[in-house]
Structure 1
Amino acid sequence: MSWASTLYEAHLTISGHEITYREIVGNLFGLASAVGGMRRRVWAWPVGIVGNVLLFTVFVGTALGSEQGGTPLYGQAGRQVFFIITSVYGWVVWRRSRRAAADAPAVRPRWANGRERLAYLVTAGLLVVFCYWLFQQIGAGFPAPWWYYVADSWIFVGSMLATFAMARGWVDFWLCWIAVDLVGVPELIHFQYYPSAVLYAVYAVFVIWGFVVWRRVARDAAPALGLGDPVAQATS
Structure 2
Amino acid sequence: MIEWILAEWTQILGFATGAACVLLAARRNVWTYPIGIANNLVFLAVFVPAGLYASAALQIVYLVLGVHGWLRWTRGVEHDREYVARTPRRVVPWLVVAALAGTAVLTVVLTVFTDSQVALADAATTSASLVAQYMLNRKWIENWWVWIGVDVAFVALSIATGLWIIAALYALFVVLCVGGLRSWRRVERESTDAGIPADARA
Common fold, TM-score beyond 0.5? yes
Q: CA RMSD in A?
A: 2.3
Counterpart in 2 of 1:90? 69
Q: Distance in 2 between matches of 1:226 and 1:31?
A: 27
In structure 1, distance between residues paired with 2:83 and 2:7: 39
Larger radius of gyration: 1
Q: Does the 8 Å contact 1:162/1:174 carry over to 2?
A: yes
Unaligned runs of 5+ in 2: none
Alignment pair present for 1:52 and 2:40: yes
The amino acid of 1:23's aligned partner reads Q
Distance 1:31 1:184 in 2: 15
Q: Take 1:191 and 1:50, find their aligned partners in 2: how far apart are those partners?
A: 23
C-alpha deviation, 1:216, in angstroms? 2.3
State the percentage of identical aligned residues: 26
Aligned-residue offset at 1:195: 0.9
The 5-angstrom pairing of residues 107-126 of structure 1 reads: 108-126=83-101
What TM-score do the two structures reach when normalised by structure 2? 0.88
* Counterpart check, 1:22 vs 2:1: no
C-alpha displacement of 1:176: 0.8
2: CA distance between counterparts of 1:227 and 1:168?
13
- For the residues of structure 2 that align with 1:40 and 1:224, how far apart are their CA atoms? 18
Deviation at residue 172 of structure 1 after TM alignment: 1.3
The one of 224, 227, 232 equivalent to 2:196 is 224
The answer to whether the 8 A contact 2:83-2:198 is kept is no
Paired with 1:138 and 1:121, the residues of 2 have a C-alpha distance of: 26
2:103 is aligned to: 128
Matched, 1:202 2:202: no
Asked if structure 2 preserves the Cα contact closer than 8 Å seen for 1:111 and 1:218, the reply is no
In structure 2, relative to structure 1, the CA distance for the partners of 1:96 and 1:193 (3 Å cut) is same
- Match of 1:114, SS state, is coil
Match of 2:143 in 1: 173
SS of 2:182 mapped into structure 1 = helix
SS at match of 2:90: helix
Query: 1:13 Cα deviation (Å)?
Result: 3.9
Maintained 8 Å contact 1:42/1:91: yes
Could you tell me which runs of 5 or more consecutive residues in structure 1 were left unpaired when the two chains were aligned: 1-10, 63-70, 229-236
Instruction: String of CA shifts for 1:166-195, please: whole Å, max 9, x gaps.
Output: 101111110111110121101101111111
Structure 1 counterpart of 2:28:
40
Residues in 1 aligned to 2:198 and 2:13: alpha-carbon distance in whole angstroms: 43
Q: For 1:165, what is the secondary structure of its paired residue?
A: helix
- Partner of 1:224, secondary structure, is coil
Q: Is the 8 A contact 1:19 1:195 kept in 2?
A: no
User: TM-score if structure 1 supplies the norm length?
Assistant: 0.76
1:34 shift after superposition: 0.8
The offset of 1:95, in angstroms, is 1.2
Distance 1:110 1:154 in 2: 26
The offset of 1:134, in angstroms, is: 1.1
> CA separation in 2, counterparts of 1:227 and 1:183?
30
- Structure 1 residues 219, 20: closer, same or farther in 2, change over 3 A? same
